[in-house]
A and B are shown apart, each in its own frame.
Chain A
């Protein structure tokens, strides 16, 4: 595969992953924190629509370029054997993703929280049926870990745009209460994120962390962890400084918090891009 094709393949994979993560996150925000702030609720729905479109476009393009990569050319891409190979390795997760996105559409159209939760669970679980977790042992543990990891990360990242909207557009009291409610859930989410991520990294690489520097997969993981460290720094800044300033009624505090949350979201996008990139290109064992 040419470098240009590989870059296109990778870019499409990142688009699809971002769409899926923000689909899950928007739905989880609505299910767990919805109803507290009208601007935040509107933003969650808008983000959900954009994420749904990005996921559908990304998954469609990803299927096309993956078939092309397997088949070698357009004639090979539509060969039934190529389609069989594609479905053997991606069919379950693709089916779950389409079902999850359909449920997401139900949430967006009707505001059903049950549909939002269902979409988030199915879309998160879809990550457990393709990629490295299906080719390493212990498979059930890895599948559970990646599902939990995705759901916790998506809740965190998907809540950022609604939180930024509340900080900028809602009253300081409501925005601060929303930040507090998010922080309580995010604290639990962070524990799940770290435990599940640690289990994934340890079981997939079967190495101690200081040996990760010796493999491309490990170095990619360390880049991701560095970016996650920046995310945690942003979260601490918002939790322990900027939310208090907002609550205290300091002039411009809402705009500052909103801008800082959007900066956190951009780092979050970089984390997802880094994850999609190193997981797609490298093997945990470094082989």
Chain B
């Protein structure tokens, strides 16, 4: 019985290992502000994806500061281009935008990009 169990686990591990590598589903193709850009305080963020998605969560994290959770339009249909109001004036400094999105087929994507406010 133990040998059967070990064999089953080995089969599963082999199959999973063989199918694991780097790339995955659709992801962020561009953003405004762009990754690494230095900009005036943005009033909104624009995120563009390779396929239709719904944003699940977006937050702006000041380096060394407290995350600012952005308010999403919960009734917005799935789209490749999503605009999210920032809601407050960002002070000069560096920020990271952390996002989560769900595609039409249920796949969940996460990512981040950074920008600086001058």
Contacts and interface: CB of A to CB of B under 8 A. Distances in A.
B26 A283 contact: yes
A198 interface: no
Chain A interface main SS type: helix
Contacts of A220: 18-19
A224 B50 CA distance: 27
Interface of B: 4, 7-8, 11-12, 14-16, 18-26, 50-51, 54, 56-57, 72, 74, 100, 102-108, 110
Closest 10 CB pairs of A and B: A89-B106, A274-B15, A270-B11, A135-B105, A270-B15, A220-B19, A278-B19, A273-B15, A135-B104, A273-B12
A223 interface: yes
B106 A287 contact: no
A281 B15 contact: no
Contacts, number: 110
Interface stretch (A79-87, A110-118, A170-178, A189-197): A79-87
A72 to B, nearest CB: 5
Contacts of A269: 8, 11-12
Contacts of B23: 216, 282, 286
Contacts of B18: 220, 223, 274
A227 B100 CA distance: 34
A273 B11 contact: yes
